[in-house]
Structure 1
Amino acid sequence: MVIAVISFNIALAALCLGIAWKLRQAKRSLRRATRWLVNAERNTSRVLSRAPYHILLGQSGVQYGRGQIAGLGALQQQIARFAALLKLLQWMGRRPLQPIPRRLAPRAKLLG
């Protein structure tokens, strides 16, 4: 019975030693991953430190461009209206002038 208890204790100690070894390896791996992530965050922070300035600069450029496009839209509408007016004038110039029939003349004779 004593041999069984001692054997069980040795097996349990070996199991705990194996688990401790694996936990130590996991700790090293996590430490390396933490260092890598901290370095990546530091590099990203350094690269993106000027990003808010550039984002605001880009947004103002987009707003300026939209204003330019809106101005061009109004100009384009004016050009389209002018072109339509020119087409109307051309169409009227090509139409032959037809005399307006005088319908008032017979009525005037009746009244007179």
Structure 2
Amino acid sequence: MLAIVLIFNFSIALACLYATWQVWHLRRTLAQVTASLHTIERDTYALLHAAPAAIAQGQIGTRHLRRQYQKLQPQLQQAQQLLAILSLGQWFYRQLRSLQGPPTRLLRPTPPSRRRHIRRGV
């Protein structure tokens, strides 16, 4: 009977030793995770600490670009209207030319420097 009690106590002690060993490993793992999270939190803070100022600067730049765009919008419309008028004028000119028929060449005398000498009888 004493042997059974000793074996039972020994098995309980081994189970407690195993549980202690597991808790010790869990503690080490949790310490590493805590250190990693602390590092991540510190780096994130360092990275995002300047973000509000950068966002505000970006908003100012965006506002400035929108104002410039609004100022340029009438000029763009005028340029588009001018191109439309030029295109219409070009179309009208082509239509007028097609009604006149093929272009005729005026006969001009050839200047003496460009005349070819023709040999006769050779």
Q: Same fold (TM over 0.5)?
A: yes
**Please, which runs of 5 or more residues in structure 1 have no aligned partner?**
96-112
User: Comparing 75-84 with 6-15, which one deviates more in the overlay?
Assistant: 75-84
Matched residues in 2 for 1:92 and 1:21: separation?
95
**Please, which runs of 5 or more residues in structure 2 have no aligned partner?**
1-7, 103-122
Q: Over residues 27-84 of structure 1, what are the superposed CA-to-partner deviations in whole Å (9 max), with x where a residue is unaligned?
A: 0100110111111111233323211111111122233333322111111222233444
When normalised by structure 2's length, the TM-score is: 0.63
Name the residue aligned to 1:60: 67
Matched residues in 2 for 1:2 and 1:94: separation?
120
% identical aligned pairs: 9
57, 73, 80: which one aligns with 1:73: 80
Name the residue aligned to 1:98: none
45, 48, 51: which one aligns with 1:44: 51
Matched residues in 2 for 1:85 and 1:4: separation?
107
Name the residue aligned to 1:25: 32
Aligned CA-pair RMSD: 2.4
When normalised by structure 1's length, the TM-score is: 0.68
Query: Which has more helix, going by share of residues?
Result: 1
Q: Helix, strand or coil: the match of 2:49?
A: helix
Matched residues in 1 for 2:80 and 2:31: separation?
69
Alignment of 1:87-106 (within 5 A): 87=94
